[in-house]
A and B are shown apart, each in its own frame.
Chain A
Amino acid sequence: MRNLRFALKQEGHSRRDIFEVLTKYAFPQSHNLLFFAFVNEEKFSENGWMVYNPMSEYRRQGLPNERWRVTFINEHYGLCDTYPSLLVVPYNATDDDLKKVAAFRSRNRIPVLSWIHPETQAVIMRCSQPLVGMSGKRNKDDERYLDIIREANRQISKLTIYDARPNVNAVANKATGGGYEGEDAYPNAELFFLDIHNIHVMRESLKKLKDIVYPNVEESHWLSSLESTHWLEHIKLVLTGAIQVADKVSSGRSSVLVHCSDGWDRTAQLTSLAMLMLDSYYRTIEGFEVLVQKEWISFGHKFASRIGHGDKNHADADRSPIFLQFIDCVWQMSKQFPTAFEFNEQFLITILDHLYSCRFGTFLYNSEFLREKEKVTEKTLSLWSLINSEKSEYTNPFYSKEVNRALYPVASMRHLELWVNYYIRWNPRIRQQQPNPVEQRYMELLALRDDYIRRLEELQITNNSKISNSSASSTSPSQMVSQVQTHF
């Protein structure tokens, strides 16, 4: 969110040339040029394209197992052109079943597995809305399929369906052939609406936010102007929804199905945030990259349409800051759990910078299918190459590794804050203390500790040798040294 204005000194010199060149290169897509990513010749020591391998990610989750199988039905994107080629579905559902279900789901985005709880075996599934329509169509295969999902967890209680939309919107979608799972058709499922608004509302909200921080920060009525943008309200709703999903899976031990309309915006936000809350792996740098790669990139969040890479039509109705909102939610979580994330704020800001930059192929195009067609992985570099080559810059010094701990942020307005370091970072009045004094102090303390431990070891060795010189009773000190080492 920065606007620049250049003043040309030479009077009379035509600004036209510059303007033309600028528009041409700023919007390559509209001028039949290649993205910068395709001509970028940077070299990195790490290859970011290797970070995500769907098969090994599912294996990490313990899949496939006796109840869940991997299907290659979408290998050539025949079933669904916005899904990845590799999908995890219930063992008891045949590929034929899947095809029938696909006919009843918007854009063929059938319910597939996103994440499985290692202990409860409850799963998070994602899909798009069912094509119920005005007449209230039903589809036996879809109904049976949802029941299979429920049974895969040997679950007696109902399957929980979270529809991310506000109730009204879901109803309104019936007019265009969409809708939601009705009680009659799905007696074994419970449906909740999460009241998250659509992409247009989010776009307007961000626009308002921009208006109050640029060019000048609205000072006199800061809080009410911030409120009038509704930005934090939307953040709160997304977080609240994700908490509900996570809590249901973890504490409620119930499988959940998440969808919105097409299942690539709000659904991605909810599943990825819930997974971040439940699975500590995704809170590492590598894990977060996998999460973005999996839930967002491979499952067809329409980055090209939402961001408008290289397109000069910036007023397009498809634009929306859905991914930015997700990163904002992650930042809010990292504020509340400062030691739970391996990555720091800079990591999140870098991701957002390159979301728009087109320097890397990572966020280009709308789906895996298109990326394969454009040979993105061969012709461009991955953002993760940049990050993984200099991991230390993106590492949170306070991170302490914990396994399998669920984090539930407090989604109260008393805790949510505007991400000043991102949204208002270009304002010269925002001075960030560099380096961050808290981090600095902690690093000093850690260095001091290492120094002490080293000295302690040395002394122990001296002490040890003294003892062995003079007596034979030296048992503990040598053990002590090894003990010291093992703890680190």
Chain B
Amino acid sequence: MEHIRTTKVEQVKLLDRFSTSNKSLTGTLYLTATHLLFIDSSQRETWILHHHIAAVEKLPLTTSGCPLVIQCKNFRIVHFVVPRERDCHDIYNSLLQLSRTAKYEELYAFSYNPKQNESEQVKGWQLIDLAEEYKRMGVPNDYWQLSDANRDYKICETYPRELYVPRTASKPIIVGSSKFRSKGRFPVLSYYHKNKEAAICRCSQPLSGFSARCLEDEHMLQAISKANPSNRYMYVMDTRPKLNAMANRAAGKGYENEDNYSNIRFQFVGIENIHVMRSSLQKLLEVSGTRGLSVNDFLSGLENSGWLRHIKAVLDAAVFLAKAIAVESASVLVHCSDGWDRTSQVCSLGALLLDSYYRTIKGFMVLIEKDWISFGHKFSDRCCQLDGDPKEISPVFTQFLESVWNLTEQFPQAFEYNEAFLLQIHEHVHSCQFGNFLGNCQKEREELNLRLKEKTYSLWPFLLADQKKYQNPLYNPDFSPELTLLEPNTVSFNFKFWRNMYHQFDRSMHPRQSVFNLIMNTSEQNKQLEEDIKELEAKIKQRNGQSDVVLEKEQELTTHHPAPMALKSPSCFQKEPPPMPANDAVRTIEGSNTADNRYSELVSEFSKAEPAVVSLEYGVARMTC
């Protein structure tokens, strides 16, 4: 690699950013083509993917060396002290180059090789089939049909090829409507609720300016409204604050005039734009990253960042949407400005509240593929996959995950997946290790000569293979049968700081016990017991079947079977937790699983048999306060 000048630096210190006593680990820093690797004296490894690096900073020289601070998109912050300034400078420059990629082809996904053969790769990409998903929802049906209008991305470049529209919406209506909508993103079906026959539709803002009208667009909305036989009115949700929407009118855009559209109920819900969200997150990180945080600054800092208020706004909008469908059986059309940020948030969260399928592991993957990937949420721009405009970066998808996390906190038994699943997805949205999130829209993924599906891998089969890690032990499918509405309570104090997201790499911030693991262990024990029972039953059956066996065979059985049992039973009966996914296996030199390293660290920490006496070095009090 031409950017790498120094590949190895010894005697580097890694500081704990929350320790006031300046505790540090000493070890060796390696720079590879894809990762930065730190191995400390006790052989513990810290892998940092270059794509995860958000910023590198060189601090003024100190007596112990040259400090280098690396901020990552997954909220890891590492603070190295390199003894020689020259080395530090080399690494700094290399990382600056390596973390900024100019072309898609240079992203990690194109070099990542998980040792899958071709057919597995193809199968992996076929795992999520959106046509199948629309069928599951119950479309096409008498009211909705698949439109081929956008088959060649002629009407809208940022939409997928397959779009579902009302049967009564003819091609001229679609074309006309798309011309009246920002970026051609005309109203299409996002989710269909088969019991209520109501639909969630999505689009971008109308190009109404102060007074412009478009008959086709009015027809389009009417068609959507008519496609719902159970209600004569429909909602139009503009997810922006009213002020922003009005300001957009000056630029020839704007919002629907209730007088021009028949039977619509128009509603603003006031979610702020990507720039506000970006600076809000920045403030949040400043607050949460301050070490030795003075007593009260945390709460006011948290509030001033506005972050939790924004999460609440997003969820409130989703609740409004879900209630309109479930309670009033009214169809809802959702838009913001371009219909790929806030609209994706609200549509997907609304569907999550309405349909328990999306609360399963597979269903959640489908939801992300549908409302985020296929409808053109600009992952590349928002997550800064390529070196681009910093004003396009925004944590819109992070907010979506955080909203889901808040729901999992309120409804612990409603979700099949756990926090680790959400964190892992967040990790890979930024890692550029899998092809799913590359690019800004489907057309881009197909064009560009990227041949994503041949050259890269899909994330989902890897998550599914590790399903066990991501299962919520509290999940109870009977808790919410198919189409039950979740009604979260969105009072302010229900929104908490997501410690495990923003401090997932700060080990001193983790509490040392978790009920979650206790439950996991117990359910593991139960599985073990179940197996033991089966084994014994089988044995007895076998014995009954051949009641007149010869003695030798009998002996062979008894010496053979009880042996593993005797090994197993202690593991379930003693307080020792059952074996958790071991973490040494995942450390390959490609570092295919940077995230796994972190996760398994956590797991192994929890699953370790707790010692009788925790011997904390003196001075721990200062550290934990």
Given A406-B613, A414-B503, A480-B566; A471-B533 close (CB under 8 Å): no
Given A237-B295, A339-B515, A477-B562; A251-B617 close (CB under 8 Å): yes
A409 to B293 Cα, complex, angstroms = 17
**Quick one: which of B304, B476, B509 contacts A410, CB cutoff 8 A?**
B509
Chain B, 561-589, CB within 8 A of any chain A CB = 562-563, 565-566, 569-570, 573-575
Looking at B489, B491, B537, the one whose CB has the most chain A CB atoms below 10 A away is B491
Given A411-B625, A441-B519, A446-B522; A459-B509 close (CB under 8 Å): no
Residues of A close to B93: CB separation below 8 A:
none
**Quick one: which of A403, A406, A438 contacts B515, CB cutoff 8 A?**
A438
B222 to chain A, nearest CB (A): 38
**Quick one: which of B508, B515, B549, B566 contacts A476, CB cutoff 8 A?**
B566
Is B215 part of the contact surface with A, judged by Cβ < 8 Å? no
A198 to B624 Cα, complex, angstroms = 24
Chain B, 502-555, CB within 8 A of any chain A CB = 503, 508-509, 511-515, 518-519, 522-523, 525-526, 529-530, 532-533, 536-537, 539-540, 543, 547, 549, 551, 554-555
Residues of A close to B563: CB separation below 8 A:
476
**Quick one: which of A336, A398, A470 contacts B518, CB cutoff 8 A?**
A398
Looking at A230, A337, A445, A453, the one whose CB has the most chain B CB atoms below 10 A away is A445
B159 to chain A, nearest CB (A): 38
Q: Nearest CB to that of B496 among chain A residues?
A: A417
B281 to chain A, nearest CB (A): 16
Residues of B close to A251: CB separation below 8 A:
615-620
A243 to B413 Cα, complex, angstroms = 35
Is A175 part of the contact surface with B, judged by Cβ < 8 Å? no
Given A224-B300, A226-B299, A487-B573; A410-B624 close (CB under 8 Å): yes
Contact string against A for B residues 458-485, beta-carbon threshold 8 Å, 1 for contact and 0 otherwise: 0000000000000001101001000000
Q: Nearest CB to that of A431 among chain B residues?
A: B489
Given A227-B299, A412-B624, A414-B499; A471-B525 close (CB under 8 Å): no
Is B492 part of the contact surface with A, judged by Cβ < 8 Å? yes
- Interface of B, helix, strand, loop or mixed by DSSP: helix
A67 to B300 Cα, complex, angstroms = 51
Is A154 part of the contact surface with B, judged by Cβ < 8 Å? no
A405 to B540 Cα, complex, angstroms = 44
Q: Cβ of A452 and Cβ of B610 under 8 Å apart? A: no
Residues of A close to B530: CB separation below 8 A:
452
Q: Cβ of B551 and Cβ of A471 under 8 Å apart? A: yes
Is A467 part of the contact surface with B, judged by Cβ < 8 Å? yes
Q: Cβ of B616 and Cβ of A406 under 8 Å apart? A: yes
Residues of A close to B522: CB separation below 8 A:
442, 445-446, 449
A100 to B539 Cα, complex, angstroms = 80
A396 to B563 Cα, complex, angstroms = 36
Looking at A243, A407, A431, A488, the one whose CB has the most chain B CB atoms below 10 A away is A243
Is A50 part of the contact surface with B, judged by Cβ < 8 Å? no
Q: Cβ of B612 and Cβ of A405 under 8 Å apart? A: yes
Is A207 part of the contact surface with B, judged by Cβ < 8 Å? no
Residues of B close to A237: CB separation below 8 A:
295
Contact string against B for A residues 410-440, beta-carbon threshold 8 Å, 1 for contact and 0 otherwise: 1111110110100010000111000001100
Q: Cβ of B533 and Cβ of A455 under 8 Å apart? A: yes
B623 to chain A, nearest CB (A): 9
Given A237-B295, A406-B616, A480-B566; A449-B526 close (CB under 8 Å): yes
**Quick one: which of A337, A408, A460 contacts B621, CB cutoff 8 A?**
A408
Q: Cβ of A441 and Cβ of B610 under 8 Å apart? A: no
A147 to chain B, nearest CB (A): 23
Residues of A close to B543: CB separation below 8 A:
463, 466, 470
Q: Cβ of A243 and Cβ of B621 under 8 Å apart? A: yes
A232 to B295 Cα, complex, angstroms = 9
Q: Cβ of B513 and Cβ of A340 under 8 Å apart? A: yes
Is A402 part of the contact surface with B, judged by Cβ < 8 Å? yes
A418 to chain B, nearest CB (A): 7
Chain A, 235-270, CB within 8 A of any chain B CB = 236-237, 240, 243-244, 246-248, 251-252
Given A233-B295, A338-B513, A452-B526; A442-B518 close (CB under 8 Å): yes
Is B302 part of the contact surface with A, judged by Cβ < 8 Å? yes
Residues of A close to B303: CB separation below 8 A:
221-224, 227
Q: Cβ of A448 and Cβ of B526 under 8 Å apart? A: yes
Q: Cβ of A429 and Cβ of B515 under 8 Å apart? A: no
Q: Cβ of B512 and Cβ of A337 under 8 Å apart? A: yes
Chain A, 204-233, CB within 8 A of any chain B CB = 217, 219-224, 226-227, 230, 232-233
A227 to B294 Cα, complex, angstroms = 12
A403 to B613 Cα, complex, angstroms = 8
Residues of A close to B300: CB separation below 8 A:
223-224, 227
Residues of B close to A408: CB separation below 8 A:
614, 616, 620-621, 624
Is A456 part of the contact surface with B, judged by Cβ < 8 Å? yes
A241 to B493 Cα, complex, angstroms = 27
Is B497 part of the contact surface with A, judged by Cβ < 8 Å? yes
How many B residues touch the partner, as a band?
35 or more
Q: Nearest CB to that of A487 among chain B residues?
A: B573
Q: Cβ of B514 and Cβ of A338 under 8 Å apart? A: yes
Is A483 part of the contact surface with B, judged by Cβ < 8 Å? yes
Residues of A close to B613: CB separation below 8 A:
404-406
Q: Cβ of A459 and Cβ of B512 under 8 Å apart? A: no
A449 to B491 Cα, complex, angstroms = 38
Is A40 part of the contact surface with B, judged by Cβ < 8 Å? no
Is B43 part of the contact surface with A, judged by Cβ < 8 Å? no
A234 to B479 Cα, complex, angstroms = 40
Given A237-B295, A441-B519, A463-B536; A414-B513 close (CB under 8 Å): no
Q: Cβ of B299 and Cβ of A232 under 8 Å apart? A: yes
Q: Nearest CB to that of A488 among chain B residues?
A: B573
A242 to chain B, nearest CB (A): 9
Looking at B304, B497, B499, B522, the one whose CB has the most chain A CB atoms below 10 A away is B522
Is B412 part of the contact surface with A, judged by Cβ < 8 Å? yes
**Quick one: which of A410, A437, A473 contacts B555, CB cutoff 8 A?**
A473
A311 to chain B, nearest CB (A): 33
**Quick one: which of B413, B491, B537 contacts A219, CB cutoff 8 A?**
B491
Residues of A close to B63: CB separation below 8 A:
none
Is A65 part of the contact surface with B, judged by Cβ < 8 Å? no
Chain A, 378-418, CB within 8 A of any chain B CB = 398, 400, 402-415, 417-418
**Quick one: which of B413, B509, B573, B619 contacts A437, CB cutoff 8 A?**
B413
Residues of B close to A246: CB separation below 8 A:
621
A449 to B574 Cα, complex, angstroms = 13
Q: Cβ of A445 and Cβ of B536 under 8 Å apart? A: no
A473 to B512 Cα, complex, angstroms = 47
Looking at B522, B570, B621, the one whose CB has the most chain A CB atoms below 10 A away is B621
Q: Nearest CB to that of B412 among chain A residues?
A: A437
A237 to B625 Cα, complex, angstroms = 9
Q: Cβ of A414 and Cβ of B509 under 8 Å apart? A: yes
Q: Cβ of A405 and Cβ of B614 under 8 Å apart? A: yes
A398 to B625 Cα, complex, angstroms = 26
**Quick one: which of B413, B532, B540 contacts A466, CB cutoff 8 A?**
B540
**Quick one: which of B293, B476, B540, B558 contacts A473, CB cutoff 8 A?**
B558
A residues near B (Cβ < 8 Å) are 217, 219-224, 226-227, 230, 232-233, 236-237, 240, 243-244, 246-248, 251-252, 336-340, 398, 400, 402-415, 417-418, 420, 424, 429-431, 437-438, 441-442, 445-446, 448-449, 452-453, 455-456, 459-460, 462-463, 466-467, 470-471, 473-474, 476-477, 480, 483-484, 487-488
Excluding A441-B519, A449-B525, 19 further A-B contacts by CB distance (< 8 Å) are: A217-B493, A219-B491, A224-B304, A243-B621, A244-B621, A247-B616, A338-B518, A409-B624, A413-B295, A417-B496, A418-B493, A438-B515, A459-B540, A471-B555, A473-B554, A473-B558, A480-B565, A484-B569, A487-B570
For the complex of A and B, the 5 pairs showing the least CB-CB separation, nearest first, are: A223-B303, A413-B298, A222-B492, A452-B529, A487-B573
21 contacts across the A-B interface (CB closer than 8 A): A227-B299, A232-B299, A236-B625, A243-B621, A244-B621, A338-B518, A405-B612, A406-B616, A410-B511, A412-B624, A414-B497, A430-B491, A437-B474, A438-B474, A438-B519, A442-B515, A442-B518, A453-B529, A456-B536, A459-B533, A471-B551
